[in-house]
Amino acid sequence: MILDLLQSSYFSLFLIVALGFMLGRIKVKGLSLDVSAVIFIALLFGHFGVVIPKELGNFGLVLFIFTIGIQAGPGFFDSFRSKGKALIVIALLIVGSACVSAVGLKYLFDMETPSVVGLIAGALTSTPGLAVAIDSTNSPLASIAYGVAYPFGVIGVILFVKLLPKFWRVDLQKEADRLENEHRGQFPELSTCIFKVTNTLAFGKSLKQINIRSMTGAVVSRLMHGDEIVIPQASSVLHKGDIIQAVGSEEALAKLELLIGEREEGELPLHHTQEVVSLLLTNKKAVNKMLGELNLQYAYGCTVTRVRRSGIDISPSPDLVLKFGDKLMVAGEKDDLIGVSKLLGNDAKKVSDTDFFPIAMGIVLGVLFGKFNLSFSDSFSFSPGLTGGVLIVALVLGAVGKTGPVLWTMSGASNHLLRQLGLLLFLAEVGTSAGRNLVETFQESGLLMFGVGAVITLVPMFVALFVGRYLLKINPLDMLGAITGGMTSTPGLVAADSMAKSNIPGVAYATVYPIAMVFLILFIQVISMFF
């Protein structure tokens, strides 16, 4: 009965996943395989004839890559601008050192060119690279060599990624927390303070005339004139002895003190008709608009005192572009706040709901883009392929965030669930496929091709690690993403993704992967033509 069930792909799939998770939880000297252990169980099952359909693997691959791209998209272009040069160097180093190693070993062991380019594609687990190798050589040797090198290309990157923290002697989670704190440092903590209007230059002038927000960066949330406390408007006039309450960074509040007058202790109470509320931005019509475009002060008499995004408080400048799920702190009259709530949406259910239309449409666009073929000459053409097409489209959509009524964003929980599902399907299929012919190809092709493939896999990673760590001073999380992206290894990214609660490796992977893929295709064609 068990043997019959193993012939059912769905049963085998879940059995592989279950056993993989059991194996992944075993720790040896503090090291565990986590979710990447699934591929090792899959290799074993594949050796004994268990087959997971290729379509299931492709389904998992596009889900995993799409969710990575959507999450990485908002930070991708910023990362490229700030770290692009270093990451491009890493991509070139990885692909270049792999090809140089392969050419050197070709002459050392007198290997045929089709076998060499196949080994390069397999060692870097690149299906587009294999397609180019076959097209450039018109030889079946490229496919055979790819099959020999591919298993270690998968396993070697996973093991390297898992061992890298040991090489580096770094706690990845602590490093992720450190980088997160650095990121938060770009957004100073906001606090509330009251000021007495004592500067004669401010007497008789409106908030608009003084231009407090642009001059200091602080936001005036309340104004007390005599015994009356109001939510200030741009037209509100300051008088000697008035008390204002403001929200801002310490630097902004210090500037405000110089502009307005002395700082005092305490806080202005709200009138019984007034309220400060936290409202969620869930109205699609308001997403990607600048805060100033909503015109909340003039239309509703309300003031946004701070915007909270991804756990960070952001000062609410008029040119701040609002994103889906932003939490706005708004001060105003209770009746006016009802209108603001309707304008923003304030529907917590929408934040957690998953709209499958953007996911399906995004993947469709990615697959179609992957089929696009760009010819530079009769001898060189480039196609992004399935992985590259989906990744590039997802990055763009994630960065755009919204197109008309369509939101390309996903909740964190939804993204994590679909990513996990996708990578499990992908690992199970890749593992069983590689394990099916592992022993046979090993016996037929011998240790030589396997060893050459292993060298081509390992050398680039050690070169990248040395240069990235000692010369370019790249942090470990970016290094993990850069190495897996340069090796075009999605299973490697899976391993990296499971080691720290951070999207930094995914952003670096997304930055490096397309560049590495272009370099690899170009270098394989050059080797096929000239060596």
Least confidently predicted of 86-95, 116-125, 340-349, 385-394: 385-394
Considering only CA atoms, which of 264, 273, 279, 370 is closest in space to residue 322? 279
Considering only CA atoms, which of 289, 286, 400, 303 is closest in space to residue 343? 286
In a domain, 269, yes or no: no
In a domain, 293, yes or no: yes
- For the chain, give the percent of residues with pLDDT over 70: 88
How far apart, in Å, are the Cα atoms of 491 and each of 29, 64, 290, 483? 23, 10, 39, 12
As a whole number, mean pLDDT of residues 332-339 equals 89
Whether 504 has a pLDDT exceeding 90, the answer reads no
Question: How many domains does the chain divide into?
Answer: 3
CATH number of residue 229's parent domain? 3.30.70.1450
Q: How does DSSP assign 363-425, residue by residue?
A: HHHHHHHHT--EESSSS-EE--HHHHHHHHHHHHHHHH-EETTEE----HHHHHHHHHHHHHH
- pLDDT for the residue numbered 365: 94
- Which are the contacts of 135, defined by CB distance < 8 A and separation ≥ 6? none
**Of 346, 371, 391, which closes a domain?**
346
Paired residues of 333 in beta bridges: 274
* Same domain for 419 and 313: no
Contact of 356 with 98, CB cutoff 8 Å:
no
Confidence grade of residue 520 (pLDDT, cut at 50, 70, 90): confident
Contact of 40 with 26, CB cutoff 8 Å:
no
- Highest-confidence range of 36-45, 300-309, 455-464, by mean pLDDT? 455-464
* Same domain for 395 and 331: no
In a domain, 205, yes or no: yes
- Which are the contacts of 429, defined by CB distance < 8 A and separation ≥ 6? 42, 52, 53, 54, 56, 57, 58, 60
What percent of the chain is helix, strand and coil (3-state, nearest 5)? Answer: 65, 10, 25
**Of 316, 346, 376, which closes a domain?**
346
Considering only CA atoms, which of 258, 247, 245 is closest in space to residue 202? 258
- pTM over 0.75? The answer is no
The tokens of 225 are what?
Answer: 């004139």
Per-chain mean pLDDT for the chain: 82
In a domain, 403, yes or no: yes
* Same domain for 94 and 218: no
As a whole number, mean pLDDT of residues 404-414 equals 81
Paired residues of 225 in beta bridges: 228
Tens-digit pLDDT profile for residues 346-393 = 888 877 777 889 999 999 999 998 888 777 666 556 677 777 788 788
* Same domain for 508 and 372: yes
In a domain, 437, yes or no: no
* Same domain for 363 and 287: no
As a whole number, mean pLDDT of residues 292-296 equals 86
What is the longest distance spanned by two Cα atoms in the chain?
93
Least confidently predicted of 53-67, 355-369, 428-442, 479-493: 428-442
Top pLDDT among 168 and 500 is at: 168
Contact of 95 with 120, CB cutoff 8 Å:
no
Q: How far apart are CA 419 and CA 416, in angstroms?
A: 5
* Same domain for 70 and 156: yes
Considering only CA atoms, which of 457, 361, 422, 483 is closest in space to residue 98? 457
- Which are the contacts of 162, defined by CB distance < 8 A and separation ≥ 6? 31, 33, 36, 495, 499
Confidence grade of residue 19 (pLDDT, cut at 50, 70, 90): very high
- pLDDT for the residue numbered 350: 78
- pLDDT for the residue numbered 271: 77
Token match 């090993």: residue?
Answer: 442
- pLDDT for the residue numbered 377: 62
- pLDDT for the residue numbered 475: 81
Contact of 281 with 322, CB cutoff 8 Å:
yes
Contact of 434 with 150, CB cutoff 8 Å:
yes
In a domain, 27, yes or no: no
Tens-digit pLDDT profile for residues 46-86 = 888 888 898 888 898 888 878 878 877 776 676 667 666 78
In a domain, 224, yes or no: yes
Tens-digit pLDDT profile for residues 212-270 = 888 888 888 889 888 888 888 888 899 999 998 988 888 888 888 888 888 887 788 88
Domain of residue 304, residue span? 283-346
Confidence grade of residue 496 (pLDDT, cut at 50, 70, 90): confident
The tokens of 9 are what?
Answer: 């792909």
- pLDDT for the residue numbered 98: 93
* Same domain for 504 and 466: yes
* Same domain for 333 and 360: no
* Same domain for 490 and 370: yes
In a domain, 17, yes or no: no
Q: How far apart are CA 526 and CA 531, in angstroms?
A: 8
* Same domain for 222 and 161: no
* Same domain for 506 and 401: yes
Helix then strand count (H, E) for the chain reads 22, 13
Contact of 35 with 424, CB cutoff 8 Å:
yes
* Same domain for 363 and 337: no
Contact of 73 with 464, CB cutoff 8 Å:
no
